[in-house]
Amino acid sequence: MLLVITFRRMRAAVVQMTSTADLDRNLERSAHWIERARSEGAELVALPENFAFMRDEDAGPSEIAQGLEGPVVQFLRDQARRHSLILAGGTFPERIAGDPRPHNTSVLIDSDGELRAVYRKIHLFEIDLPEVSFRESKGISPGRDVVVAELPSGGIGPIGMSVCYDLRFPELYRQHAERGATVLLVPSAFTVPTGRAHWELLLRARAVENQAFVVAAAQFGAHSPRRSSYGHSMIVDPWGRVLCEVPDREGIGLADLDRGELDRIRARLPALDHRVL
């Protein structure tokens, strides 16, 4: 008997935003772009890091820090349910009992509005360049756990979760691959100098070495007089090809994630099976 396997395609969207310290405005803009992405057929929509609240990196603990039952996660759950899509909720400041510094937390919501996964950013951004100096640890507490999310209808496969500066640490993504991830989420707010130098290079490297789709929604433009982001949100396939890239403005990028193509690449070049170390 001939067994026919139909591999599912999933249309993904990356949302590029210029968020500010105005929470209400940011949520309004997020809702606009989520609706726009859904109207273009997106089944998975990814928001950028700090989509709900963006301020100077060294401003200290966030004044809008809240729990997983707070208004930001409720907004994401409502949007996912309303539009019947999987929503990768960028990040928001998650309050921690007994610590003035929140986590920089990313959540994944399924199409029923249920919270499926929570990831707290592990690697915190510390940099001192002539153009820019940040100390993320001043206002953020690091997470510890590697998270790979399973979705009941996720025919494209498990989803590995990460945030921005994590992108520079390939060992995290190798753990994702070892746990079966076929999609890697990288919500980000890369600085302009580091983004110009390394953003696309790192995204394509993580896609190639783990033979996975990389879905990277990013912040763009000036958020305040002291902070700007590089943008160039993109989706990369397991062969390292850039499937879409958002230009220098707010907007969305769309691409079809083809599980069949991923499996063909892994079968023809089984590098993940050839690992020695």
Q: Which residue has the tokens 């930001």?
A: 72
Instruction: Report the alpha-carbon distance of residue 246 to residue 152 in Å, rounded.
Output: 29
Amino acid at residue number 167: L
The pair phi, psi for residue 258, each rounded to 5°, is -105, 105
Which residues sit opposite 197 in a β-bridge?
Answer: none
Catalytic, 49? Answer yes
Cβ atoms of 174 and 210 within 8 Å: the answer is yes
Catalytic, 63? Answer no
Instruction: Report the alpha-carbon distance of residue 207 to residue 203 in Å, rounded.
Output: 6
Catalytic, 138? Answer no
| 243 Cα distance to chain centroid | 16
Which of 43, 57, 136, 164 is catalytic? The answer is: 164
Measured between alpha carbons, how far is residue 55 from residues 11, 52, 64, 237, 251 in Å? 31, 10, 11, 32, 20
Could you give the angle at the alpha carbon of 176 between the alpha carbons of 121 and 86, nearest 5°?
75
The closest of 275, 265, 272 to 240, measured between CA atoms, is 265
Instruction: Report the alpha-carbon distance of residue 276 to residue 268 in Å, rounded.
Output: 19
Which of 43, 94, 121, 136 is catalytic? The answer is: 121
Cβ atoms of 88 and 48 within 8 Å: the answer is no
Which of 43, 49, 57, 136 is catalytic? The answer is: 49
Which residues have a catalytic role annotated? 49, 121, 164
